[in-house]
Amino acid sequence: MRIKWFSFIRIVGLISVLTYHFYRNSYPGGFIGVDVFFTFSGFLITALMIDEFARSNRFCLLAFYRRRFYRIVPPLVISILVVVPLTYLVSPDYITGLGKQITAALGFVTNYFEILSGGSYETKFIPHLFIHTWSLAVEMHFYLVWGLIAFLIAKIIGKKQNEDGATRVANFKIAIFLLSMVFLVASATLMAVKSRGLTDYSPVYFDSLTHLFPFFLGAAVATLTGIKSISRPFEGLIRHTNRWLIVALMALSFAGIFALGFKMDFDSRATYTGGILLASILASLAIVLARMLHDHTPNIDEPKWATFIAATSYSMYLYHWPLFVIFSQVTNTNLAVALTIAVGLPCSALSYYVIEPAIAGKETKMDDRLLHSKALKGLLVLVTILLVAVTGYTVKKAPNLTQLENRLWLGGLEQSKDQMSTYKDVMVDAHIVSVNGYTPVDKIPAGVSIIGDSVTAGARDYLLSHIPDSTVDAQANRSMDLAYTTIIAAQKNHVLRKNVVLCIGTNAHNGSEQQLMRLINDLEPGHHLILMTPYDRRANPTWNSSKFADFERATAPHYDFISLTDWQKLAGEHPEVFNGTDGVHFVGRQSGNIIYTQAIDEGLAAAKDKPVKK
């Protein structure tokens, strides 16, 4: 039994996710579209389980797993084979660790692969092409566990021969509802608890244990409404509700979901202590209303365009992210969106209407004569062989590290060597003073200490050769609290130079401003402090990095020993430096090295006319 109007729920989820990925700055909370899908999947799967039990007094687990396999795996494999050849349009950085990515996707463990590899859903500098399959992993984990639980419940209740069919169905629903609510509360609570104290919420967002509750909310709703096997109270509610009231409430629920997409923030704890749950509740409301509207519109057909978009939504979800990542590296965002849809939609339709049914042994929408022609079969086999060969070759030649990661690794080795040499000189000087009986003089070394993050690390060699008497201490993912620790340690070891350049802020989080003020207070007399604002092409004014840059601009004028150099402004005037990059790093480009060094030189020039800290 196909329920009309369910298509619009899928469409709302798809639009939310696609808009979020295409225009993240304008629609920062669109990731809740995934939770719309999760809630709907939990509802649909559980409702079908109830219908099967009501019809046959049993639930066939193997048949359930088989249906899920044919619905999920073939489109996933096809999308991977189609996408990989397109990676030759972009930098080899985008296929780094490709074999691991594909293995994780096909093994339905992408969510834990990203957690273990330190992947971030929002701020991955070189985004994994298949990071979006984290949601398939969570979904598959739900199917495996929930299917087994439903099978066991059906087995136990189905054996009670002293009960009539209606009683057994009612007991099955009750058991499913109670377990759904237990798992719902446990998972939502775990997400709220584990999100406490985090600065990057990706681990709690990816984790199946913390993100399964939308499925169980949908499952609980299924026991109250159902598809074929509906309860009497729900039947009564349908009879006593006006069609137009249902339409109005359904529109309001969709509006609520879209409004949340504008208000929610991935980096806000409120998202994990109720925001995602609220989105799932609105999705559940829309599901119930769509089910009611189905019975109120017996003579009205669902628009064919809506049915088409809903039917291809899963495949389109698979295609959109890797296609957009690739196309956005070779053109502007709007054209990349158009190309993503132009390529993804036909591939999705071909997958859903032709290839998937053929693999599952079902009827397709194509002319059977064409489908079974030897010429077409031969062509499909040839194309498949070529795609598999290209994918295999690409996986084999994929680098293990991006250019940036390789540069950071080599730079880290050189930096460690330089630091050892510096500390050796300090120890030798201290020993000479001790042997000769001199009175130690607390002297601050002349020159420049540049303290930075991965952007600074990428430009390290150029900085050392073009800024006289300088040292560079840079580390990937360095935040303000880590920078504070580094500077204070150098200060205690008497290796912190007179001019301290702080190139931090891309990894800013809540509390970074307080850490900067702490540094300003604890920096010893005799130093200049040069603040360099962070730049991230993707950031809007609400991002922590943008807020930190504003705070630096506002703070510097209040201290005579602090100067400011506006890398955010200077980098924004040279967008060509970041073409084809993540919008933060210029990956060793000479033009990027030049303007980055220029920014530091401007800060040092401004510091010359200012006194040191007293």
Only one residue has tokens 């899908």, namely 37
pLDDT at 478: 87
The model's pLDDT over 77-110, given as tens digits with 9 standing for 90+, comes to 999 999 999 999 988 888 888 999 999 999 999 9
**Within this chain, do residues 343 and 414 fall inside the same structural domain, yes or no?**
no
**Within this chain, do residues 491 and 459 fall inside the same structural domain, yes or no?**
yes
Note whether 284 and 225 are within 8 A (CB): no
**Within this chain, do residues 141 and 45 fall inside the same structural domain, yes or no?**
yes
The model's pLDDT over 242-292, given as tens digits with 9 standing for 90+, comes to 999 999 999 999 999 999 999 999 989 999 999 999 999 999 999 999 999
79 within some domain: yes
Distance CA(593)–CA(300), nearest Å, equals 64
Distance of alpha carbon 13 from the chain centroid: 16
Across residues 428-438, what is the average pLDDT? Answer: 48
User: Of 397, 428, 444, which closes a domain?
Assistant: 397
pTM of the model: 0.80
**Within this chain, do residues 380 and 479 fall inside the same structural domain, yes or no?**
no
pLDDT at 415: 59
106 within some domain: yes
Closest CA to 596 of 456, 412, 450: 456
User: Of 363, 397, 431, which closes a domain?
Assistant: 397
The model's pLDDT over 304-351, given as tens digits with 9 standing for 90+, comes to 999 999 999 999 999 999 999 999 888 888 999 999 999 999 999 999
Strand 499-503 relative to strand 528-532, pairing: parallel
Domain count, the chain: 2
Whole-number percent of the chain with pLDDT over 70: 89
The token pair that represents 507 in the structure block: 């990894």
Write the CATH number for 445: 3.40.50.1110
479 within some domain: yes
Residues 6 or more apart whose Cβ sits within 8 Å of residue 94:
87, 126, 129, 325, 326, 329
Structural domain for 553, as ranges: 403-608
The model's pLDDT over 39-86, given as tens digits with 9 standing for 90+, comes to 999 999 999 999 999 999 999 999 999 999 999 999 999 999 999 999
User: Of 338, 369, 397, which closes a domain?
Assistant: 397
**Within this chain, do residues 455 and 392 fall inside the same structural domain, yes or no?**
no
Whole-number percent of the chain with pLDDT over 90: 66
142 within some domain: yes
Distance CA(367)–CA(611), nearest Å, equals 83
Half-sphere exposure of 309 (CA within 13 A, CB side): 18
Is the model's pLDDT at 526 over the cut of 90?
A: yes
Residues 6 or more apart whose Cβ sits within 8 Å of residue 337:
22, 324
**Within this chain, do residues 272 and 365 fall inside the same structural domain, yes or no?**
yes
613 within some domain: no
* Residues composing the chain: 614
Residues 6 or more apart whose Cβ sits within 8 Å of residue 164:
none
pLDDT at 422: 54
Distance (Å) of CA 364 to CA 256, 350, 355, 360, 602: 37, 10, 8, 10, 67
With helix as H, strand as E and coil as C, how does 66-100 read?
HHHHHHHHHHHHHHHHHHHHHHHHCCHHHHCCHHH
Residues 6 or more apart whose Cβ sits within 8 Å of residue 315:
75, 78, 79, 344, 347, 348, 349, 351, 352
Residue 570, exposed/middle/buried by CB under 10 A (0-12, 13-18, 19+)? middle
**Within this chain, do residues 508 and 556 fall inside the same structural domain, yes or no?**
yes
Q: How confident is the model at residue 399 (pLDDT cuts 50, 70, 90)?
A: confident
pLDDT at 439: 42
Q: How confident is the model at residue 195 (pLDDT cuts 50, 70, 90)?
A: very high
Is the model's pLDDT at 432 over the cut of 50?
A: no
The model's pLDDT over 217-244, given as tens digits with 9 standing for 90+, comes to 999 999 999 888 888 889 889 988 999 9
**Within this chain, do residues 393 and 407 fall inside the same structural domain, yes or no?**
no
The model's pLDDT over 133-160, given as tens digits with 9 standing for 90+, comes to 999 999 999 999 999 999 999 999 988 7
**Within this chain, do residues 249 and 297 fall inside the same structural domain, yes or no?**
yes
Q: How confident is the model at residue 405 (pLDDT cuts 50, 70, 90)?
A: low
1 within some domain: no
221 within some domain: yes
Is the model's pLDDT at 122 over the cut of 70?
A: no
**Within this chain, do residues 189 and 98 fall inside the same structural domain, yes or no?**
yes
423 within some domain: yes
**Within this chain, do residues 15 and 86 fall inside the same structural domain, yes or no?**
yes
Residue 514, exposed/middle/buried by CB under 10 A (0-12, 13-18, 19+)? exposed
What is the pLDDT of the chain when averaged over all its residues? 88
Phi/psi of residue 449, nearest 5 degrees: -105, 115
The model's pLDDT over 561-597, given as tens digits with 9 standing for 90+, comes to 999 999 999 999 998 888 767 788 886 688 999 999 9
**Within this chain, do residues 365 and 480 fall inside the same structural domain, yes or no?**
no
Q: How confident is the model at residue 441 (pLDDT cuts 50, 70, 90)?
A: very low
